[in-house]
Structure 1
Amino acid sequence: MTAEVDMTTPPNPEPVDPTQPVLPPSSPSAEDEAEQLRSFNVREQDSAWRAVAYLLTGPLIYGGLGALADHWLGTSWLVGAGIVGGMAMSLYLIWFRYGTH
């Protein structure tokens, strides 16, 4: 035989005493707020350094690819196009990633 369980009403975890005052949730302590501020500052600093890295690596990589293509094709304008294109892509990536908050 199987026992049937009534799943319609949840069990009461603790009876409520109407004579006891209801306390509001505790507010965060000063240490918790300081830790949250430190965490926020670290995230913002990481984002700033990441944006600087994008600004440097975009033109370097695409300028380098342009230099390789110039050497291979015998042209002289692809380095400049690679640097400008790399900077444009870096700025777009920064705007897309950090400017939409």
Structure 2
Amino acid sequence: MVRPAMSEEGHPPDPESAEDSEQRSFANAAWSIPSYLLSGMAVYGGLGWLLDQWWGTSAMLPIGILVGLGLALYLVYHRYGR
């Protein structure tokens, strides 16, 4: 029962070519970068909105959005810029 599973017929396919791997990593980066930017602005903008509601101000939302964008840009540079 074990021998058919270990036979040559069921071996995995050859690894991907370098070109396919490069295209796939580019596609992943193309989706990851805008996701980082949008989620950074949304999370820190949401925290700024919560602070505005708590403190009764109106300045923390734009500050939170800018801080989130700055941190997201730093993360993108750190991950993909080198």
Which structure shows the bigger proportion of residues in helix conformation?
2
| TM surpasses 0.5 | yes
Q: Which has the larger radius of gyration?
A: 1
What whole-Å deviation, never above 9, does each CA across 1:19-45 have from its counterpart, x for those lacking one?
xxxxxxxxxxxxx8x822111100111
Figure out how many residues of one structure are paired with residues of the other and give that number: 68
Is it true that 1:93 corresponds to 2:75 in the alignment?
yes
**Structure 2 runs not aligned, ≥5 long:** 1-13
Identity value in percent: 41
State the alpha-carbon separation in 2 of the partners of residues 66 and 74 from structure 1.
11
- Please provide the CA RMSD for this pair: 1.5
Look up the match of 1:24. none
Q: Which amino acid aligns with 2:48?
A: G
State the alpha-carbon separation in 1 of the partners of residues 18 and 78 from structure 2.
26
**Structure 1 runs not aligned, ≥5 long:** 1-31
TM-score, normalised with respect to structure 1: 0.63
State the alpha-carbon separation in 2 of the partners of residues 40 and 91 from structure 1.
23
Further displaced range: 35-44 or 57-66: 35-44
State the alpha-carbon separation in 1 of the partners of residues 22 and 79 from structure 2.
17
TM-score, normalised with respect to structure 2: 0.77
**CA positional deviation for 1:55:** 1.0
Is it true that 1:82 corresponds to 2:67 in the alignment?
no
2:44 maps to which of 58, 62, 65: 62
RCO higher in structure (CA 8 A, sep ≥6):
2
